[in-house]
């Protein structure tokens, strides 16, 4: 996967000769920033926002190990360079001066290759054990490669029905949608994706951003689903779905939001902000680039990421029950165990560190206007997150999107209505897609 707009640092041309040349340079320079300056220029000419965001971060702002992941993941995936060669050379380069920059770069290369092998084994295990799930008849877990990284997804349902792609929230996975997949399977072709860095997908040490996840979802829709579809997301997955829909335009038949993350403002505030900025957030990024952003040292970010995850693991169940206020019994061992397991994968901590370097975020107003299609909002109105303004945000959708294109469904649930009230959410999706497809009168 990957489309034409490759993220910062990927090498679309590939080839064994290039791979070995790059690996020699990585070892010779012995400094990841120096290697990134020489070999990983940001390609901003195509207007890709991931490229622009990474240009602002620059070679010196990359996470330890990120230069290797961005340079070699696709080449390793294509077989252009041997992981055994990298491991052998990396172990040799750590021998004499273990605290040197060269040794650190070699150690990061070794950890990256081992992390890739871990996720490949995890993928094999998933495929082998998939028949043991209680809901195995409803869907199967599969993998596709995006920029050389393993990305897991669920696929099931009726081949003749409308296609729906579900995108999970922060810390969750495709499995969070398993009840909706089962509910809709008789009438819809259903997919759910593990975003890069979450679930059973690979967790490379890279600077994660909304634009990276947007590209993953866009490419999955075009390459795997490969037909017009409906995008649905919860929390950060809702914002990601909205962002991808703004790129896909008419290929996205409709957008379904379940307590989406992201900022939404009234029409007057949005217009005033655009005037002051001189255009949209995306247009400003393309025109002026992303602003420089001060962030703590990377070692501190990595330490904080590991500490936060370690602190959260014992409290996953209690936290989930707080955000599932109406039906805490839906916080099942399956949900808790999957969140805890996924957090232990190699690289799992890096996603928290990346949060300090996020580029400017477009409002929902901007993304919905760019999308311009049909919208269903299934909102858990008792959401305790976001300062308790869930009901106020819910009411704004009618104001910021053409009223004839919006359908609002209020649900007595918290932050994840697709889990607490999956039957209501599924029924709303079924009705919405039928109306858009012209099967029933609106």
* pLDDT (tens digit per residue) in 29-40: 989 999 999 999
* pLDDT score of 299: 63
User: Which tokens sit at 306?
Assistant: 């590991």
Of the given ranges (105-114, 137-146, 240-249, 377-386), which has the lowest mean pLDDT? 377-386
Of the given ranges (54-68, 347-361, 397-411), which has the lowest mean pLDDT? 347-361
Q: What is the DSSP letter of 191?
A: E
* pLDDT score of 56: 83
Crossing angle of the two packed helices 210-220 and 49-57, in degrees rounded to 10: 150
Please give the Cα distance from 310 to 167 (Å, whole number). 25
Q: What is the rounded average pLDDT of the residues 421-438?
A: 96
Q: At 312, is the pLDDT very low, low, confident or very high (cuts 50, 70, 90)?
A: confident
Q: What is the rounded average pLDDT of the residues 68-79?
A: 94
Using the predicted structure, report yes or no on whether residue 4 has a pLDDT greater than 60.
Answer: no
Using the predicted structure, report yes or no on whether residue 393 has a pLDDT greater than 90.
Answer: no
Q: Please, are residues 67 and 32 in contact by the beta-carbon 8 Å criterion?
A: yes
Using the predicted structure, report yes or no on whether residue 2 has a pLDDT greater than 50.
Answer: no
Using the predicted structure, report yes or no on whether residue 315 has a pLDDT greater than 60.
Answer: yes
Using the predicted structure, report yes or no on whether residue 246 has a pLDDT greater than 70.
Answer: yes
* Close Cβ partners of 325 (under 8 Å, ≥ 6 residues apart): 382, 384, 413, 414
Q: At 359, is the pLDDT very low, low, confident or very high (cuts 50, 70, 90)?
A: confident
Q: Please, are residues 175 and 161 in contact by the beta-carbon 8 Å criterion?
A: no
Helix (H, G, I), strand (E, B) or coil at 183: helix
Using the predicted structure, report yes or no on whether residue 1 has a pLDDT greater than 60.
Answer: no
> 166 - beta bridge partners?
192, 232
> 228 - beta bridge partners?
none
Please give the Cα distance from 379 to 391 (Å, whole number). 8
Using the predicted structure, report yes or no on whether residue 297 has a pLDDT greater than 80.
Answer: no
Using the predicted structure, report yes or no on whether residue 47 has a pLDDT greater than 80.
Answer: no
- The 10s digit of each residue's pLDDT in 261-292 is 999 999 999 999 999 999 999 888 888 887 76
Using the predicted structure, report yes or no on whether residue 3 has a pLDDT greater than 50.
Answer: no
Q: At 307, is the pLDDT very low, low, confident or very high (cuts 50, 70, 90)?
A: confident
* pLDDT score of 148: 93
Whether the model pTM is above 0.95: no
User: Which tokens sit at 70?
Assistant: 């961005």
* pLDDT score of 439: 63
Please give the Cα distance from 122 to 150 (Å, whole number). 10
* pLDDT score of 311: 77
Q: pLDDT higher for 101 or 224?
A: 224
Locate tokens 């810390």: which residue? 171
Please give the Cα distance from 77 to 120 (Å, whole number). 11
Sheet containing 189-193, strands listed edge to edge, beginning at the edge strand earlier in sequence: 139-146, 149-157, 189-193, 163-167, 229-235, 252-260, 374-380, 406-411
Arithmetic mean of pLDDT over the chain: 89
Q: At 46, is the pLDDT very low, low, confident or very high (cuts 50, 70, 90)?
A: low
CA distances (Å), origin 142, targets 122, 192, 308: 12, 10, 30
Helix (H, G, I), strand (E, B) or coil at 201: coil
Question: To 5 degrees, how large is the angle CA 69–CA 142–CA 324?
Answer: 90
Using the predicted structure, report yes or no on whether residue 442 has a pLDDT greater than 80.
Answer: no
């Amino acid at each position: 996967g990957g489309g034409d707009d490759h993220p910062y640092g990927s090498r679309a041309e590939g080839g064994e000769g290039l791979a070995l040349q790059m690996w020699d340079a990585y070892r010779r320079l012995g400094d990841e920033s120096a290697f990134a300056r020489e070999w990983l220029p940001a390609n901003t000419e195509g207007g890709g926002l991931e490229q622009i965001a990474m240009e602002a971060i620059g070679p010196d702002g990359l996470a330890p190990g990120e230069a290797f992941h961005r340079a070699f993941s696709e080449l390793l995936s294509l077989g252009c360079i041997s992981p055994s060669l990298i491991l052998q050379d990396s172990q040799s380069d750590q021998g004499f001066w273990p605290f040197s920059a060269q040794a650190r770069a070699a150690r990061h290369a070794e950890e990256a290759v081992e992390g890739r092998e871990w996720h490949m084994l995890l993928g094999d295990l998933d495929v082998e054990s998939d028949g043991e799930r209680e809901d195995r008849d409803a869907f199967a877990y599969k993998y596709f490669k995006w920029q050389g990284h393993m990305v897991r997804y669920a696929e099931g349902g009726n081949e003749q029905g409308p296609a729906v792609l579900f995108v999970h929230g922060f810390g969750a996975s495709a499995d969070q949608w398993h009840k909706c997949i089962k509910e809709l399977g008789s009438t819809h072709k259903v997919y759910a994706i593990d975003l890069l860095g979450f679930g059973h997908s690979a967790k490379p040490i890279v600077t994660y951003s909304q634009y990276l996840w947007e590209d993953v979802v866009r490419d999955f829709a075009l390459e795997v689903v490969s037909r017009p579809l409906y995008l649905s997301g919860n929390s950060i997955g809702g914002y990601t779905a909205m962002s991808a829909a703004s790129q896909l335009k008419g290929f996205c038949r409709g957008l379904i939001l379940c307590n989406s993350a992201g900022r939404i403002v009234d029409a007057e505030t949005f217009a005033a902000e655009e005037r002051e900025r001189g255009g949209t957030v995306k247009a400003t990024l393309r025109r002026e680039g992303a602003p420089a952003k001060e962030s703590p040292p990377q070692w501190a970010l990595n330490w904080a990421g590991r500490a936060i995850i370690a602190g959260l693991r014992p409290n996953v169940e209690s936290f989930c029950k707080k955000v599932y206020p109406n039906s805490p019994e839906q916080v099942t061992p399956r949900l808790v165990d999957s969140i805890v397991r996924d957090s232990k994968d190699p690289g799992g901590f890096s996603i928290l560190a990346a949060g300090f370097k996020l580029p400017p975020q477009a409002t929902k107003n901007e993304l919905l206007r760019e999308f311009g299609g049909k919208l269903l909002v299934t909102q858990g109105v008792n959401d305790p997150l976001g300062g308790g303004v869930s009901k106020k945000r819910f009411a704004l959708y009618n104001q910021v999107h053409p009223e004839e294109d919006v359908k609002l469904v209020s649900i007595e649930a918290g932050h994840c209505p697709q889990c607490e009230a999956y039957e209501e959410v599924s029924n709303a999706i079924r009705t919405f897609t039928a109306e858009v497809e012209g099967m029933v009168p609106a």
